[in-house]
Amino acid sequence: MSVLVSATDLLAGDRGPTVLLDVRWALGDDPRRARYLDGHLPGAVYVDLGNELADPPSAAEGRHPLPSLQRLQAAARRWGIRDGDAVVAYDATGGLAAARAWWLLRWGGVADVQLLDGGLDAWLRAGGPVATGDVVPEPGDVTLTGGGLPVLSIDQAAALPSSGVLLDARAGERYRGEVEPVDPRARHVPGAVSAPTTANLTVEGTFRPASELRARFAAMGVQPGTDVGVYCGSGVTAAHEVAALAVAGIEAALWPGSWSQWAADPDRPAATGR
């Protein structure tokens, strides 16, 4: 199953039962639900990333710990997902938030999950209609089994640079330790390679072609078959990097706790510079 679906293909409407998830979210963006109510893809269900795609934050697990499989299944059923349904997630930031829903559902065992390439902007450019107000679907019956995508623990992430590649998907200035707006410490995990996830996107907010993504990751020492893991601040934009790697034909593991988990432990070393 392809990671991405284009707006034109989604508009064609020949996909069979498809659940649309609106996952608009950004740090500090409180009016995100209001934006959904003001205009969304027809039939799309609003997904609250902080409350539905993560467990409560903790120093031990990070700012956005993975929800339990039971909590995720309950949320997926609230969104109306039934066994065998296709799912398309989107946002208004090039998939940086929606990729968290894509990753979690794939991790949970849902086979047919895609990201709307370019999100809401691409939909509007393609002439797609929008609807207002809330969508409350009939409850679904999907059963999640887990284990659909690989996950790293903090200790596995710490050890990975000695045998593979650990990618840091945060902005370069956070990786270099020049600024840290959210977590207790700046810098990065020793041995990690800077790979800002925003560089996976074109200026229009769509994913770069697979050939370009392969070249980008190859320059970082990542090829198909490389043992690779990804982290970010709290495991959200790292999911976008995992999606970009999948577009390039490379499987990668996500470290859910990411830098927020590492930085909260004063005994974990931190590196600076490039």
pLDDT digits 0-9 by tens, 161-196: 999 999 999 999 999 999 999 999 999 999 999 999
**Residue 105 neighbours by CB under 8 Å, 6+ apart:** 72, 76, 81, 87, 89, 113
**Res 191: pLDDT:** 98
**Can you state the angle between helices 98-108 and 237-247, rounded to 10 degrees?**
70
Question: Measured between alpha carbons, how far is 77 from 69 in angstroms, rounded to an integer?
Answer: 12
Task: Give ∠ CA 36-40-42 in degrees, rounded to 5.
Answer: 135
- pLDDT of residue 31 exceeding 90, the answer is no
Torsion of CA 181, 229, 198, 101, to 10 degrees: -90
Question: Measured between alpha carbons, how far is 216 from 110 in angstroms, rounded to an integer?
Answer: 29
**Res 27: pLDDT:** 67
- pLDDT of residue 19 exceeding 80, the answer is yes
- pLDDT of residue 213 exceeding 90, the answer is yes
Question: Measured between alpha carbons, how far is 96 from 69 in angstroms, rounded to an integer?
Answer: 22
**Res 140: pLDDT:** 97
Question: Measured between alpha carbons, how far is 203 from 162 in angstroms, rounded to an integer?
Answer: 35
- pLDDT of residue 150 exceeding 90, the answer is yes
Question: Measured between alpha carbons, how far is 192 from 231 in angstroms, rounded to an integer?
Answer: 9
Residue 204: how many other CB atoms lie within 10 Å: 11
Catalytic residue among 4, 81, 135, 232: 232
Which domains does the chain carry?
4-125 (3.40.250.10), 154-263 (3.40.250.10)
**Res 29: pLDDT:** 60
User: Where residue 14 falls among pLDDT bands split at 50, 70, 90?
Assistant: confident
User: Where residue 13 falls among pLDDT bands split at 50, 70, 90?
Assistant: confident
pLDDT digits 0-9 by tens, 216-244: 999 999 999 999 999 999 999 999 999 99
**Model pTM score:** 0.96
Question: Measured between alpha carbons, how far is 193 from 187 in angstroms, rounded to an integer?
Answer: 12
- pLDDT of residue 54 exceeding 80, the answer is yes
SS3 46: strand
Find, among 134, 273, 79, 119, the residue nearest to 205 by Cα.
Answer: 119
Question: Measured between alpha carbons, how far is 257 from 133 in angstroms, rounded to an integer?
Answer: 34
Residue 36, both tokens = 């959904």
* Lowest mean pLDDT segment, chosen from 24-33, 61-70, 74-83, 94-103: 24-33
Percent above pLDDT 90 for the chain: 92
Question: Exposure pattern of 237-249 as b/e (b: 16+ CB <10 Å)?
Answer: bbbbbbbbbbbbe
User: Where residue 16 falls among pLDDT bands split at 50, 70, 90?
Assistant: confident
Are residues 54 and 65 in contact, defined by beta-carbon separation less than 8 angstroms?
Answer: yes
Average pLDDT over residues 90-108: 97
Q: Reply yes or no on whether 152 is catalytic.
A: no
User: Where residue 30 falls among pLDDT bands split at 50, 70, 90?
Assistant: low
CA distances to 76, 165, 224, 242 from 200, in Å: 28, 17, 17, 11
**Res 84: pLDDT:** 93
